[in-house]
Chain A
């Protein structure tokens, strides 16, 4: 066909395409770096740490904030003189990699960070799927990962430290609170992957043990936005209102809440909706008008009224812009960088084995309060239950105080009676009968 006349247009496109690609690469590379200042002032050396989050793809929306919180902590530590080990001041140099919302990529980039960059520790991951993909790499290479997100538990690796909540620090107290204040009939909705499935298994066992009743459950494929069948089921199962526990992740939440509101399944009509994956950042994306009056359980809210919490939020806004919000995952990510620093200083080394041993018992004055690393590599955390307000912030309804983490769930028959304690010198320290 007529190739000649449209030749210039083709050139426009190929040029434009090349340019667009180049520019996005520039944008990606430039956006993340952050200014890890210090200008070499007074450091005796450097220590490299890995930062491995999805900076592109479907999870980027959530993981960007986490990576930014980690970079902020690194900057603060460097400005305050870095990590002091063996009498030397070391500057922390972050090596950033993009997990690209693709789980095998997380494993691959972990190998690269450990083998090529020789980092002392990796801060990374968000979805449980990404953690499950990375875990074998860290165990095989006997290396060191910090993971910042609330998750389903049922895991306790020698090579991983978990600074997010276990179910007994988020889901279980939330269900208890719902049973006490909101009703006994529960409908569970979640995305179709490991976290919601496992969390709901635990919730079902808990309901059995504490007198609740499961009236239905449904799972939506990740990214799916057609929720009409689920809404129909909720209406059949709970015609007069009841409790809905939502463990949907990502985009599905927007569809879920928009369509629920249209169908009249709202707090005003007697439905108590508790979400485990919706924090301040997600509220802004979904729109507070759809979420007002629903509940969430977390270990940190931006509205937490303590000087440390206010300072954390003010610093984050000063660094990344006034419109930004802080949330629980960002706080947990910020904490883990400091915990690692304190662990390294206690061990007087940045060697990953020594730091891992030294970390147990280390405390940090976090935005949520004083957190302490437990022998099971998880953190003692503050448990809060909040209600979404018009402005997209949470009103804290109940503060359950600090709760110790339980890695192996005690409601699930298969893991009942098991515990994890890495201070014990036994081969099965990760999972043994109490």
Chain B
């Protein structure tokens, strides 16, 4: 019984992390069909936001709030990651709807830029970036208007950006000689996010040790799930999102502002990635490469669950968590100690963490051979986007 509870709890715990990471993706990929390779980096942005919130509250007038900084980090991360996602949608993804391969490549590029950004960003770098964007944007305003209607305007446009970049680099370089401004904000090193005291211990219940951090993540997952399903099922904007998902052209004809809907969907999906980022700071390291650890698993969960089905994602995440735990921890050997030797040695072979991953991937591949649309395929008539 204890073994069963132990397995159940740990499986759910692993699954809840997968679930959180995949939830935002289920919204973006599942509903909009956008393959967002930068999803992991949006998680990283959420984790870095947690770090900033933690440091803001560590000392100074708000010190009293430090024990609950993690609760304040959740909305902050949702907002910061959501806005980052919104920017991404407005600048890149908007141009690439219906072109999944280009989206994949472009968002992968964005993910690399985001990773390098958190490594390099310093005050000098940031001011240089601001200056370049400002110069580039204002250039048309401070030059004669007819220049911008000539056949050689594209050259001018490119030229103005080259100048803007050069100005930014010069300023950044100049400011960089000031030591305080040159100091990177985060640097390439991993940063230290410390769980508050009340999340570091564990609770013993019916012989199962439940780390508080895991319980917190489980609760957070449940909350996020309830919020998202309420939003999609009950709220006016959620209904519009579902309408656009099912039939974009028809929705547009009926007066639903599809562009706003796209932007909103992306904002919510990215914000959820931010919340997942807060959760993973309780478990693992926080560094520029954080996203890469979760992106593959998150896609796997969404694909296994079936596109466009929130419940599919939920079931797939917890199923994967439990299967991964049962294989990886070798619990099967304990449940059935007298199994035949050949079977026993096979299971023992797969009962290491890395081999468990291999086996899980194989199982998913086999499953998708028979059910390519996942556990809960979308039914009904759909217009191909």
List residues of chain A with CB under 8 Å of any chain B CB: 1-3, 6, 8-24, 26-28, 30, 56-58, 60-61, 64, 192, 217-221, 223-230, 232-233, 235-236, 251-255, 258-259, 261-264, 284-287, 289
18 new A-B contacts, CB < 8 A, other than A229-B324, A259-B283, are: A1-B259, A3-B95, A8-B137, A11-B136, A19-B169, A20-B113, A21-B113, A26-B169, A28-B120, A58-B289, A223-B292, A223-B293, A225-B293, A226-B353, A230-B328, A258-B195, A262-B201, A262-B214
Whether the pair A264, B293 counts as a contact (CB closer than 8 A) is no
A16: B residues at CB distance < 8 A: 129, 132-133
Report Cα–Cα, A9/B190, bound state, in Å: 32
Give min CB distance, B65 to chain A, whole Å.
20
- Given the known interface contacts A16-B132, A255-B283, the answer about A263 and B353 at a Cβ–Cβ threshold of 8 Å is no
The digit string for B172-202, where 1 denotes a CB below 8 A from any CB of A, is: 1100100000000000111110110000111
Whether the pair A15, B90 counts as a contact (CB closer than 8 A) is no
Partner of A23, one of B10, B92, B129: B129
Whether the pair B353, A19 counts as a contact (CB closer than 8 A) is no
Report Cα–Cα, A336/B356, bound state, in Å: 41
Partner of B284, one of A13, A24, A258: A258
Report Cα–Cα, A58/B324, bound state, in Å: 25
**Chain A CB within 8 A of B267 CB:** no
List residues of chain B with CB under 8 Å of any chain A CB: 6, 10, 13-14, 17, 90-92, 94-95, 97, 109, 113, 116-117, 119-120, 122, 125, 128-129, 132-133, 136-137, 157, 161, 164-165, 168-169, 172-173, 176, 188-192, 194-195, 200-202, 209, 211-214, 259, 280, 282-287, 289, 292-293, 324-325, 328-331, 334, 352-354, 356-357
Whether the pair A26, B173 counts as a contact (CB closer than 8 A) is yes
- Given the known interface contacts A26-B173, A225-B283, A258-B284, the answer about A219 and B353 at a Cβ–Cβ threshold of 8 Å is yes
Report Cα–Cα, A228/B323, bound state, in Å: 13
Q: What secondary structure prevails in chain B residues at the interface with A?
A: helix
A284: B residues at CB distance < 8 A: 192
A11: B residues at CB distance < 8 A: 136-137, 157, 161
Whether the pair B129, A20 counts as a contact (CB closer than 8 A) is yes
Whether the pair A19, B168 counts as a contact (CB closer than 8 A) is yes
Report Cα–Cα, A223/B285, bound state, in Å: 10
Report Cα–Cα, A16/B292, bound state, in Å: 23
**Closest residue of chain B to A5, judged by CB?**
B259
Give min CB distance, A284 to chain B, whole Å.
7
**Closest residue of chain B to A2, judged by CB?**
B259
Whether the pair B329, A229 counts as a contact (CB closer than 8 A) is yes
Report Cα–Cα, A259/B94, bound state, in Å: 40
Partner of B354, one of A192, A228, A264: A192
Partner of B164, one of A15, A28, A217: A15
Give min CB distance, B184 to chain A, whole Å.
8
Give min CB distance, B288 to chain A, whole Å.
9
Give min CB distance, A261 to chain B, whole Å.
6
B190: A residues at CB distance < 8 A: 61, 251, 254, 285
Report Cα–Cα, A226/B214, bound state, in Å: 12
Q: Can you list 22 A-B contacts with CB-CB less than 8 angstroms, sorted by A residue number?
A: A1-B259, A6-B91, A14-B161, A15-B133, A16-B132, A17-B109, A19-B165, A23-B169, A58-B289, A219-B352, A220-B354, A225-B293, A226-B283, A228-B10, A229-B329, A230-B353, A236-B334, A251-B284, A252-B285, A255-B283, A255-B285, A258-B283
